[in-house]
Copies of this chain bind each other. A is one copy, B any other.
């Protein structure tokens, strides 16, 4: 299982395809079936009290599985999320970036399935976990 795209290629893909949100998601590491993605937390991600919004964490999980899939199959940018199940387990630490560790468990012709653990940087206990399915369009 060779990589079709490395971290630099994935970051370039985000800037080209999703310019509105590309600065939210920095690919840090890529390995077969795995990516690590940083969300540099900014004011627009916060709710009153300083907690990070649910849609922000959902978006991080979602993009991480997308990028893990692109890393393996190349820029099939029309892949779409069909399902996400996400558990919010702890309040993220304020003033700290989020780091998502995504792993694909299945990469078929038409479906990709993977898991994501989201951590406040530097903390061992994850703040959220998610599993996602992407539908991959026929070539």
Taking CB atoms, residues of chain B closer than 8 Å to A44 are: 20
How would residues 54 to 96 of chain A score, 1 for a CB under 8 Å from any chain B CB and 0 otherwise? 1110110010000000000000000011111111111000000
For chain A, give the interface size range: 35 or more
B83 contacts A105, C-beta separation under 8 Å: no
Copies of the chain in the assembly: 4
Interface residues of A (CB under 8 A from B): 17-20, 44, 47-48, 53-56, 58-59, 62, 80-90, 105-106, 110-111, 113, 115, 117, 125-126, 129, 131, 133, 135
Contact of A90 among B17, B48, B86, B106 (CB under 8 A): B106
Bound CA–CA A20/B46 (angstroms): 9
Q: In angstroms, how far is the closest chain B Cβ from the Cβ of A114?
A: 9
